[in-house]
């Protein structure tokens, strides 16, 4: 009888005998020729009577094959709604960096070196968590019996900046607990930092902003939570960390008020010209641990995110 160990040894021998080629593959920033990313409507035609088809073998090399499918994936990731989002959301209004918050409000373009891999991994995990919870609620027919307890990726309005509604999708809302839960897929350094110092102002404001949005939608909110899940830990959930605290609307209100003050200044300066507005943004204080400063065109010379010294405030006091 062949045992699992025998099979494992056979597989190891086969792998050891194989030729493994490791290449430095070019980054695919555009869709490869011949690959059409445009989605089609599967309901537009009746394909039920058609036999399954595949393309003909054409001798594509392994390197070409992977480069082509990588191009499809990268194109989709770079052009996803999350990647293309321009309007500020709950996840950004608590950014302690005045410079980057103002730059975001002004609509400055952010540069990314190809696909943002870690956010891409996080998005994939978020999607699977949503699928699992929704499938469970559907399997017990919660919609028509006890009622749904967990609401996934529901959009709420947390307030306004410059008269424009600020909306965002909550990863999970537990109706029974009265608690929005935000999932963060992070590395061990972040989990260690949260254990010692808490989630930081950006994440904390985001959590309470979602709480405010659910209250506005008519739900009871008692707590806010952030579930930090390990990106690469064999312990799985046990390697993560749950942070939570009682819901405090004032935290969200204060963050929105700060953003509105910056927005008012930006609007006033824009009336004088884009150059005046942009110069003021560049003069604003920068948070020493900011990851976002390096993504903007006024990135200080030699800046390697995170961490840098503030620039001189050449326009300090122009607008209080």
Query: In the chain, at which residue ranges do the beta strands (DSSP E only) sit?
Result: 150-161, 164-174, 179-186, 223-230, 241-246
pLDDT exceeds 90 at position 34? no
pTM over 0.85: no
Residue 230: C-alpha distances to residues 121, 181, 193, 201, 239 (Å) = 11, 16, 13, 20, 6
For 285-314, write each residue's pLDDT tens digit: 999 888 888 888 888 766 654 433 333 333
- Report yes or no: 150 and 170 within 8 Å, Cβ to Cβ: no
Beta pairing class for 164-174 and 150-161? antiparallel
Q: How far is CA 225 from the centre of its chain?
A: 17
Give 156's strand partners. Answer: 168
For 154-172, write each residue's pLDDT tens digit: 999 999 999 999 999 999 9
pLDDT exceeds 80 at position 191? yes
pLDDT exceeds 80 at position 267? yes
For 62-105, write each residue's pLDDT tens digit: 999 999 999 999 888 888 776 566 789 999 999 999 999 999 99
State the DSSP code for 312: P
Alpha-carbon gap, residue 186 to 174, rounded angstroms: 22
Alpha-carbon gap, residue 172 to 175, rounded angstroms: 9
The count of other CB atoms within 10 Å of the CB of residue 83 is 15
Confidence grade of residue 36 (pLDDT, cut at 50, 70, 90): low
Mean pLDDT of all residues in 217-236: 96
Beta pairing class for 164-174 and 179-186? antiparallel
Q: Is 3.40.50.620 the CATH classification of the domain at 98-256? A: no
The count of other CB atoms within 10 Å of the CB of residue 290 is 22
Alpha-carbon gap, residue 30 to 37, rounded angstroms: 11
* CB within 8 Å of 104: residues ≥ 6 apart: 88, 92, 95
Start-end of CATH 3.90.320.10 domains in the chain: 98-256
Confidence grade of residue 8 (pLDDT, cut at 50, 70, 90): very low
Q: Please tell me the predicted confidence (pLDDT) of residue 84.
A: 63
């Amino acid at each position: 009888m062949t045992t699992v160990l025998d099979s494992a040894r056979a597989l190891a021998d086969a792998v050891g005998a194989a030729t493994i080629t490791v290449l430095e593959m070019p980054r695919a920033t555009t869709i490869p020729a011949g690959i059409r990313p445009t989605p089609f409507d599967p309901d537009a035609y009746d394909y039920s009577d058609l036999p399954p088809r595949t393309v003909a073998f054409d001798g594509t090399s392994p390197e070409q094959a992977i480069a082509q499918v990588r191009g499809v994936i990268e194109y989709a990731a770079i052009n996803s709604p999350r990647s293309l989002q321009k309007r500020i959301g709950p996840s950004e209004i608590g950014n302690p960096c005045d410079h980057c918050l103002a730059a975001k409000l002004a609509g400055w373009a952010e540069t990314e070196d190809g696909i943002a891999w870690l956010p891409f991994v996080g998005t994939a995990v978020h999607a699977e968590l949503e699928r699992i919870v929704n499938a469970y609620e559907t399997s017990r027919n919660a919609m028509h019996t006890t009622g749904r307890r967990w609401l996934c990726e529901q959009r709420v309005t947390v307030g306004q900046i410059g008269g424009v509604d600020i909306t965002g999708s909550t990863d999970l809302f537990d109706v029974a607990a009265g608690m929005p839960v935000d999932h963060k897929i992070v590395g061990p350094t972040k989990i260690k930092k949260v254990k010692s110092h808490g989630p930081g102002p950006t994440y904390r404001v985001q959590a309470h902003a979602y709480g405010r949005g659910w209250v506005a939608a008519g739900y009871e909110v008692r707590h806010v939570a952030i579930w930090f899940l390990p990106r690469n830990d064999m312990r799985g959930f046990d390697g993560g960390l749950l942070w939570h605290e009682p819901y405090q609307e004032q935290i969200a209100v204060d963050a929105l008020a700060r953003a509105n003050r910056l927005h008012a200044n930006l609007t006033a300066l824009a009336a004088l010209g884009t150059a005046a507005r942009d110069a003021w943004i560049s003069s604003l204080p920068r948070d020493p641990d900011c990851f976002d400063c390096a993504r903007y065109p006024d990135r200080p010379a030699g800046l390697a995110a995170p961490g840098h010294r503030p620039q001189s405030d050449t326009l300090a006091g122009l607008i209080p």
